[in-house]
Amino acid sequence: MVTLSDVARAANVSKMTVSRVINHPEQVTPELRSLVESAMATLNYHPNSIAQALVNNRTNVVKFVTLEDIDTTEPYYMNLLFGVAKGLTKKQYAFQLVTDPEQIEAGRSDGYIITGARSSDYDMFDQLDKPFILFGENHRGFDFVDTDNQLGVKMATEYALSRLYKNIIFIGIDLKEPFEYSREAGYINTLQKNQLIPKIFRIGNHSHAAQDLIKEHFKEFKKDTCFICASDRIALGVERQLAEEGAKVPDDFGVIGFDGVFLDQVANPKLTTIRQSIFEMGELLATMLLQKIAQSGSPQGEVLIKPTLIRRGSTR
Amino acid sequence: MVTLSDVARAANVSKMTVSRVINHPEQVTPELRSLVESAMATLNYHPNSIAQALVNNRTNVVKFVTLEDIDTTEPYYMNLLFGVAKGLTKKQYAFQLVTDPEQIEAGRSDGYIITGARSSDYDMFDQLDKPFILFGENHRGFDFVDTDNQLGVKMATEYALSRLYKNIIFIGIDLKEPFEYSREAGYINTLQKNQLIPKIFRIGNHSHAAQDLIKEHFKEFKKDTCFICASDRIALGVERQLAEEGAKVPDDFGVIGFDGVFLDQVANPKLTTIRQSIFEMGELLATMLLQKIAQSGSPQGEVLIKPTLIRRGSTR
DNA sequence: TTGTAAGCGTTATCAA
DNA sequence: TTGATAACGCTTACAA
């Protein structure tokens, strides 16, 4: 293993000069700096992050906390995780996965990335003594990253109108959470702007719940209706039950999902959906958290990422 | 932060005695040991794993390497990852995710858990200088954990026979890899034992490839046929195209999948499938790797985990 | 601007 | 069996 001392010896300087070239290059004269830099290059030196961690009282580990049940966990979390991992690896950070809220503060870490948080979890967050960033919008002032939910549903709704569907129905998730309110707002605002009356159903985020809903209300739905769904999972159920009822998708009925990571491709026909940039959000979460750690906890703000409309066979 | 010295002071012994109580308790007299232990308890002492890592020249990090494309990555990897995480966290280990084979040795780690390996990757593994365990069987002597693929398909085939399907067809994945050979062997052996002639199709692991296959050959399939599929993804496509053809599932045609983590529930009707204990295998992978690291690389062997038959609506 | 010395929390070595 | 000391690789504080 090549150490600081090896580089120092090769460059004929002290360890501190090498350390400074790494951490505070501006404090070193250009000549020495380039001398040290070439020594580092020829020796292929990489700082030992464990030694750095020890002296800086860091662990180089952050926890990825999933407060949702794994079983209900959307497959798209995989992408989020890979994004987070990419952002962390850049700074030689590793992570641990936590599913039990009790275990958040167990063991060692420098901070937390928290997903699946509900309003009821907020009080617990106030108790945390290490920096954290939430994945998912909130109105309590916690730093977060999320898709621009309102914009996403607005895009979906406008697209449905542009495809000349006459009736636009929103099928949301029956949770009193900010992301759901934002999605509904995107729908409601767009309908009102077009002098249409909003019609919202709210169900659990399961395809079978969506099937049940369509089954129960199918007679009420006229041709030229488009269903804007709060998740691909719901859209999948809607599409399936419409087929079951013998309804023509996309000609008579349109279906638009939300997420666009995995389930949209499983559906038949494939779903028109609002794709979230999950991987990129993961990377951003990591970057923000590491920055927050480096700045000893200073606020990083709230970031909304613009989603993308993917046009597929479930709309005409 | 409570340190070794704090405990030593509280217990009126030297730091080394405390260290020994942690690492080599048999070298300490019972009296001193209990003295130290109660001091650790009252102070709520936890060893600083970073300091341990530094002095032991360890990183407390392992890499989780995914050689498959993320896009084709099955959602069940999420479960594997949570299992791995659980196994690692027990020993205060964290992990990094690696998708680029070039990056396996970049940065710091104590070892690797490798998934999605193909035979063509084996030569690269010979070059690795740190311990690793594969997720997936291989015949090159590398330590691995996998489902007992042969047994799984045997269970599926026997179940199909017991449900009185007359024709049993296997739809495999067109890869020349050990797991596929094992699955086919489970099928072939069971058919031969029952004096039946095996019939195998091999396709890419995609639902649409399965749909194409069924569409093309549907006329050849008689009633009372059960399709044993090498993955739920394939089974999903088979089921979907059978529906498209107007065939009755499960009465006239049976479909059995393999994996049993997520897609089996998305299917309609839900799939009878061979469920792999993915989470448990992840935990085992971690345990084995940490043991291998502790034993400076000694072989851990090959472990086959018994899968479970889940009976659902896609068989009668 | 550069170097020296001390220390982060732990464990191995060797002496008592 | 127990303890003093040095060492792991790095950075901060201070001195030159």
For residue B237, give Cα distances in angstroms to A247, B210, B246: 21, 5, 14
| Residue B71: predicted pLDDT | 64
Domain assignment of residue A226, yes or no? yes
For residue A145, give Cα distances in angstroms to A85, B99, B144: 16, 24, 38
Which residue of B lies nearest to A100 if distances are taken between CA atoms?
B86
Look at A131-145, A173-187, A200-214, B257-271 and tell me which has the smallest mean pLDDT.
B257-271
Domain assignment of residue A196, yes or no? yes
Q: What is the CATH number of the domain that holds A220?
A: 3.40.50.2300
In B, which residues are within 8 Å of A61 by CB distance?
A: 60, 94
> Residue A71 carries which side chain, given as an amino acid letter?
D
Q: Which helix (H) or strand (E) holds A1?
A: none
A4 in contact with nucleic chain D (CB within 7 A): yes
Which residue of B lies nearest to A237 if distances are taken between CA atoms?
B266
Evaluate if residue A257 carries a pLDDT over 70. yes
Same structural domain, B141 and B223: no
Residue pairs between chains A and B whose CB atoms are closer than 8 Å: 95
Same structural domain, B73 and B172: no
Q: What is the CATH number of the domain that holds A39?
A: 1.10.260.40
User: Where does chain A have alpha helices with state H?
Assistant: 4-11, 15-23, 30-43, 49-56, 76-89, 122-127, 149-162, 178-193, 207-217, 232-244, 263-266, 278-294
Same structural domain, A242 and A193: yes
In B, which residues are within 8 Å of A97 by CB distance?
A: 81-82, 85-86, 89
Query: How far is B144 from chain A, CA to nearest CA, in Å?
Result: 23
Residues of A from 5 to 44 whose C-beta is within 7 A of strand D: which are they? Answer: 5, 15-16, 19, 22-23
Same structural domain, B125 and B170: no
- How far is the first Cα of chain A from the last one, in angstroms, to the nearest whole number? 62
Same structural domain, A133 and A168: no
Same structural domain, B131 and B169: no
Same structural domain, B175 and B224: yes
| Residue B73: predicted pLDDT | 61
Which three-class secondary structure state does DSSP give residue B90?
coil
Which residue of B lies nearest to A103 if distances are taken between CA atoms?
B89
Domain assignment of residue A163, yes or no? yes
Q: How many helices (H) and strands (E) does chain B have?
A: 12, 12
For residue A61, give Cα distances in angstroms to A28, A290, B183, B209: 31, 10, 40, 42
Q: B37 and B21 in contact (C-beta within 8 Å)?
A: yes
Find the Å distance, CA of residue A24 to C1' of nucleotide C2: 13
CA distance A44 to B50: 24
**Gyration radius from chain B CA atoms:** 25
Query: How far is A196 from chain B, CA to nearest CA, in Å?
Result: 34
In A, which residues are within 8 Å of B70 by CB distance?
A: 78-79, 82
Q: Give the nucleotide nearest to B3 (CA→C1').
A: C9
Same structural domain, A134 and A283: yes
Evaluate if residue A261 carries a pLDDT over 80. yes
Query: How far is B180 from chain A, CA to nearest CA, in Å?
Result: 23
Contact A50 B108 (CB under 8 A): yes
Domain assignment of residue A315, yes or no? no
A73 in contact with nucleic chain D (CB within 7 A): no
- More confident of the two residues A69 and A232: A232
Return contacts of A209-213, CB within 8 angstroms, 24+ apart. A209/A234, A209/A237, A210/A171, A210/A234, A210/A235, A210/A236, A210/A237, A210/A238, A210/A241, A211/A237, A211/A238, A211/A240, A211/A241, A211/A244, A212/A241, A213/A171, A213/A237, A213/A238, A213/A241
In A, which residues are within 8 Å of B96 by CB distance?
A: 85, 88-89, 94-95
Find the Å distance, CA of residue B13 to C1' of nucleotide C15: 17
User: What is the total count of domains within chain A?
Assistant: 3
* Beta-ladder partners of B203: B173
Which residue of A lies nearest to B61 if distances are taken between CA atoms?
A94
Query: How far is B290 from chain A, CA to nearest CA, in Å?
Result: 15
Find the Å distance, CA of residue B48 to C1' of nucleotide C10: 8
Q: Which domain holds residue A35?
A: 4-47
Same structural domain, A184 and A240: yes
| Residue B76: predicted pLDDT | 79
CA distance B259 to A137: 34
Classify residue B34 by its DSSP letter: H
Look at A12-26, A73-87, A181-195, B275-289 and tell me which has the smallest mean pLDDT.
A73-87
In B, which residues are within 8 Å of A76 by CB distance?
A: none
Domain assignment of residue A253, yes or no? yes
Same structural domain, A141 and A220: no
B15 in contact with nucleic chain C (CB within 7 A): yes
Domain assignment of residue B289, yes or no? yes
Domain assignment of residue B313, yes or no? no
Same structural domain, A168 and A114: no
Find the Å distance, CA of residue A19 to C1' of nucleotide C4: 14
Domain assignment of residue B316, yes or no? no
Which residue of B lies nearest to A55 if distances are taken between CA atoms?
B51
Query: How far is A191 from chain B, CA to nearest CA, in Å?
Result: 32
**Facing residue for A77 by CB, picked from B78, B99, B240:** B78
Same structural domain, B171 and B69: no
In A, which residues are within 8 Å of B129 by CB distance?
A: none
Which regions in chain B score pLDDT beneath 50? none
Angle at the Cα of A76 from the Cα atoms of B260 and B108, rounded to 5 degrees: 95
CA distance A261 to A78: 10
Q: Which of A152, A147, A122 is nearest to A136 (CA)?
A: A147
Measured in degrees and rounded to the nearest 5, phi and psi for residue B2 equal: -80, 125
Summarised one tens digit per residue, pLDDT across range A201-220 is 999 999 999 999 999 999 99
Which three-class secondary structure state does DSSP give residue B232?
helix
